[in-house]
């Protein structure tokens, strides 16, 4: 187990370096970071040159990258456009987005898996067809449309929720945005669970369990569900990173001041440090989530042993 984790951690290094380098290069194409510092006017050449030297922007890109990564590993993510350290922005933004992601994942687990089990056990019945059709529609409607429609209906027409979330963004306010963020993945989780359950329902061990005279709920929860959830856990795990990165659209609709909002501001103001810093953390979250999913396999499926 220990050796497996170590090997996986070592494998993460090239992916981490590659992804951050890629985003670093992309941001460098993004335009002149100095132009953003002088506001709407053009910088005068002497100031620009001085700023360039100060931030090390006159050096080649690979050298900038090394310096930046060196700083990151000592906990220095640079400063944002308003002079605030990027770490401070992260401190205020990440808790909000993490709360939003938790709400979304809970929706995926509770609603997605429940619907998947119900439809998988009743394959071909009206409830199955209905749910399948609904998931297809949910997958087809882009998140920003779902978000705007729910905001229109629940927030404006019926007044059940406030159309925009307060800066504190407590769990209560994040229920609807979390549902919007989860919507597409929720539909995928439902379909994945349904297929998996329907496939395993016919397997020998389930028949044995029924033949032994076990009560139905025990067969479903202990025997069927545990084996069917492996692909679902993989999906939800990899989705954690995707949700945090994809929250940018949801956060914009509901005016949530989370990671997506800060990133959007950073991109608009061409602030390299903010963008690269946040993306670096998001990439790390994605990689760690994937590692945890692989380790969870061993818990869910005792046949898998990591030497």
Interacting residues toward other proteins by CB under 8 A: 14-16, 18-19, 22-23, 26-27, 29-31, 136-137, 139-145, 148-149, 151-152, 156, 202, 204, 207, 241-242, 244-246, 248-249, 252-253, 263-264, 267-268, 270, 275, 279, 282-283, 286-287
Structure tokens that stand for 199 in this block: 């496939």
How far apart are CB 17 and other proteins at their closest, in Å?
9
Nearest to 132 by CA among 124, 144, 143: 124
Q: How many CB atoms lie within 10 A of CB 47?
A: 12
How far apart are CB 121 and other proteins at their closest, in Å?
17
How far apart are CB 232 and other proteins at their closest, in Å?
19
How far apart are CB 19 and other proteins at their closest, in Å?
4
Q: How many CB atoms lie within 10 A of CB 9?
A: 12
How far apart are CB 36 and other proteins at their closest, in Å?
11
Nearest to 258 by CA among 236, 238, 281, 239: 281
**Sign of the CA dihedral 261, 266, 267, 269?**
positive
CA 138 – CA 269 distance, rounded (Å): 34
Nearest to 297 by CA among 200, 205, 231: 231
- End-to-end, the C-alpha distance of the chain in Å comes to 6
Nearest to 191 by CA among 126, 107, 110, 134: 134
Do 258 and 170 contact (CB within 8 A), yes or no?
Answer: no
How far apart are CB 204 and other proteins at their closest, in Å?
7
Cβ proximity to other proteins: between 109 and 242 the closer is 242
How far apart are CB 46 and other proteins at their closest, in Å?
25
What is the Cα gyration radius of the chain? 23
What does DSSP assign to residue 44? P
CA 169 – CA 61 distance, rounded (Å): 38
Cβ proximity to other proteins: between 110 and 262 the closer is 262
């Amino acid at each position: 187990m220990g050796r497996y984790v170590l090997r996986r951690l070592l494998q993460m290094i090239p992916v981490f370096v590659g992804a951050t380098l890629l985003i670093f290069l992309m941001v460098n194409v993004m335009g002149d970071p100095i132009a953003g510092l002088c506001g709407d006017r053009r910088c005068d050449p002497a100031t620009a040159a001085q700023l360039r030297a100060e931030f090390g922007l006159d050096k080649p890109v690979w050298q900038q990258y090394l310096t930046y990564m060196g700083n990151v590993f000592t906990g220095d993510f640079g400063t944002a456009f308003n002079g605030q350290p990027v770490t401070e922005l992260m401190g205020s933004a990440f808790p909000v987005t993490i709360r939003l992601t938790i709400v979304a994942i809970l929706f995926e687990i509770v609603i997605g898996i429940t619907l998947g089990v119900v439809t998988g056990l009743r394959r071909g019945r009206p409830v199955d067809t209905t749910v399948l059709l609904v998931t297809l529609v949910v997958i087809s409607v882009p998140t920003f449309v779902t978000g705007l429609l729910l905001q229109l209906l629940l927030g404006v027409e019926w007044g059940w929720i406030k159309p925009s979330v307060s800066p504190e963004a407590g769990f209560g306010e994040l229920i609807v945005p979390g549902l919007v963020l989860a919507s597409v993945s929720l539909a995928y989780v439902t379909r994945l669970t349904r297929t998996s359950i329907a496939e395993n329902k016919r397997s020998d061990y389930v028949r044995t369990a029924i033949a032994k005279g076990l009560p139905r709920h025990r067969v479903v929860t202990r025997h069927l569900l545990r084996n069917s959830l492996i692909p679902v856990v993989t999906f939800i795990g990899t989705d954690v990173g995707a949700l945090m990165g994809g929250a940018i659209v949801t956060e914009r609709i509901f005016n949530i001041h989370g990671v997506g909002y800060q990133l959007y501001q950073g991109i608009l103001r061409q602030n390299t440090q903010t963008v690269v810093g946040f993306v670096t953390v998001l990439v790390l979250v994605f990689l760690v989530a994937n590692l945890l999913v692989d380790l969870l396999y061993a818990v869910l499926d005792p046949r898998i042993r990591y030497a």
